[in-house]
Amino acid sequence: MTTVLESLNHALHTAMQADPGVYLLGEDLLDPYGGAFKVARGLSTAFPDRVLTSPISEAGLVGLASGMALRGLRPVVEIMFGDFLTLSADQLINHAAKFRWMYNDRVRVPLVVRTPMGGRRGYGPTHSQSLEKHFLGTPGLRVLAPCDLGDPGLLLRQAILEDDPVLFIENKLLYLCRIPSGKDLADLELTTLNPDSAAAPGLDAQTYAPAYTLRMRGAPPARLTLVAYGYMAHLARQAMVQLAYENEIFTELVILTQLAPFTIQPVLDSVQQTGRVLAIEEGSLSMGWGAEIVARVAAALGPRLLASQRLAALDSAIPASGPLEAETLPDTAAIIQAAKKMV
């Protein structure tokens, strides 16, 4: 069984093999180290000229890669910790994401910025955050997040093939999750949707960014829709099973891999049946991804939305101390508790 990490690593190998225009840039990428989280492992050995290990310059690096992208290459930038994305905010928001549209659709920026987010490793306030919420809703910037279903590597490969900038959000704990086989999911019914993802100004529709819907096989109708992405989708799947077996609460879980721009349809399809939605994310609550989910569902369903809630990290910095960190971030138990309250 493959891990998400292996899948992503393999995808980078494949992408670099397939296209000599693909470059990988980032800090400490060279083998044997292969990047802080090892997603780059083996690449500098296989493609020594196309893995550019860089100084510590997150803004410069993203800007430089945008320039490469404007001139015919397909750079992939690794930002060592997602926490440092704040340093590239100007390059992402005021440069890479704007170029195509502001230059009247005459240029393209096939740039991918990948970065690991997330806590639960005790790294403390500056190395544990899930800051993607600050970048969602940037016109011209697609944001993707693999989960442990489907083919995370394919999601990355498609991102690299795209002609518009993509922010690709990985999660540190997701790396080691194994992609379950059909047998592992035997208790579940899995629907994969590949929604024609909302084409927004300055962005084309993208080919592979599936949404998944999971149900307990043969269960009574679900009374609550869980929505999640990334590692939280993994935890939500555990919660879903536990809720069914231990509490006889049946839920549906919708997992998105495209966070922005996105279509709410797969979520609506489920909430139309269940009437209730719980959006789950690891980032801090306020102005998070879940707000957009709930707002869209509420707008679409009006009074048919019986209940909506969000579960997220506390609105505080993330402490290094294990017990404090565990309280700060939402886990399976918290999902179960929140779900129970809603039905």
Partner 1 sequence: MTISVQDPSAFYRALCRIRSFEETVLENFPKGVFFGTTHTYIGQEANAVGVLAHCQPQDIVFSNHRCHGHFLAYGGDPHALFAELMGKSTGVCGGRGGSQHLQWKNFYSNGIQGGITPVATGMALAERLQGHSPVVFTFIGDGTLGEGALYESLNLASLWHAPVLFVLENNRIAQTTPVDIAVAGNMAARFSAFGIPAQELDSSDVLEIYPLAGKLVDEVRETQTPRALILHTCRFGPHSKGDDTRSEEAIERMKTQRDPLHLQAARVNDEQSIQIRSEISAEIAAAFQAALADPFPVIHAVAGSSI
Footprint of a second copy on this chain (CB under 8 A)? 83-84, 86-87, 89-90, 92-94, 97-98, 101-102, 124-126, 131, 133-140, 200-202, 260-261, 284-295, 297-299, 302-310, 314-317, 319
Q: Which stretch binds partner 1 (CB under 8 A): 10-18, 116-124, 140-148, 269-277?
A: 116-124
In the set 4, 23, 37, 84, which binds ligand TPP (CB under 6 A)?
Answer: 84
Smallest gap from Cβ 319 to ligand TPP, in A, equals 18
Cβ 104 vs Cβ 160: under 8 Å: no
φ, ψ (nearest 5 deg) of residue 38: 75, 10
Q: How far apart are CA 268 and CA 258, in angstroms?
A: 16
To which residue do tokens 């190395």 refer? 127
Angle CA(59)–CA(65)–CA(66) in degrees, nearest 5?
Answer: 90
Contacts with ligand TPP by CB under 6 A: the residue count is: 6
Q: For the chain, give the number of residues.
A: 343
Q: H or E element: which one contains 155? A: helix 152-161
By CB under 6 A, tell whether 62 contacts ligand TPP.
no
306 binds, among partner 1, ligand TPP, a second copy, none (CB under 5 to 8 A by kind): a second copy
Buried b / exposed e over 180-205, threshold 16 CB at 10 Å, is beeeeeeebebeebebebeebebbee
Smallest gap from Cβ 277 to a second copy, in A, equals 9
Smallest gap from Cβ 315 to a second copy, in A, equals 5
User: What tokens were used for 252?
Assistant: 């549906």
Smallest gap from Cβ 93 to a second copy, in A, equals 5
φ, ψ (nearest 5 deg) of residue 97: -70, -25
Smallest gap from Cβ 307 to partner 1, in A, equals 12
Q: How far apart are CA 300 and CA 280, in angstroms?
A: 19
Site string for partner 1, 162-201 (x = CB under 8 A): ------------------------------------xxxx
Q: How far apart are CA 231 and CA 171, in angstroms?
A: 6
Q: Which is nearer to a second copy, 174 or 277 (CB)?
A: 277
To which residue do tokens 């801090």 refer? 284
Q: Which is nearer to partner 1, 125 or 195 (CB)?
A: 125
298 binds, among a second copy, ligand TPP, partner 1, none (CB under 5 to 8 A by kind): a second copy
Which of the 8 DSSP states describes residue 154? H
Q: How far apart are CA 210 and CA 41, in angstroms?
A: 27
65 binds, among partner 1, ligand TPP, a second copy, none (CB under 5 to 8 A by kind): partner 1
183 binds, among ligand TPP, partner 1, a second copy, none (CB under 5 to 8 A by kind): none
Q: Which is nearer to ligand TPP, 87 or 285 (CB)?
A: 87
Smallest gap from Cβ 126 to ligand TPP, in A, equals 7
300: helix, coil or strand?
helix
Site string for ligand TPP, 7-36 (x = CB under 6 A): --------------------x---------
By CB under 6 A, tell whether 56 contacts ligand TPP.
yes
Write a three-state SS string for 250-292: CEEEEEECEEECCCCHHHHHHHHHHCEEEEEEEEECCCCHHHH
Closest of 252, 214, 255 to residue 232, by C-alpha:
255
By CB under 6 A, tell whether 102 contacts ligand TPP.
no
Residues of this chain that interact with ligand TPP (CB under 6 A) are 27, 56, 58, 80, 84, 87
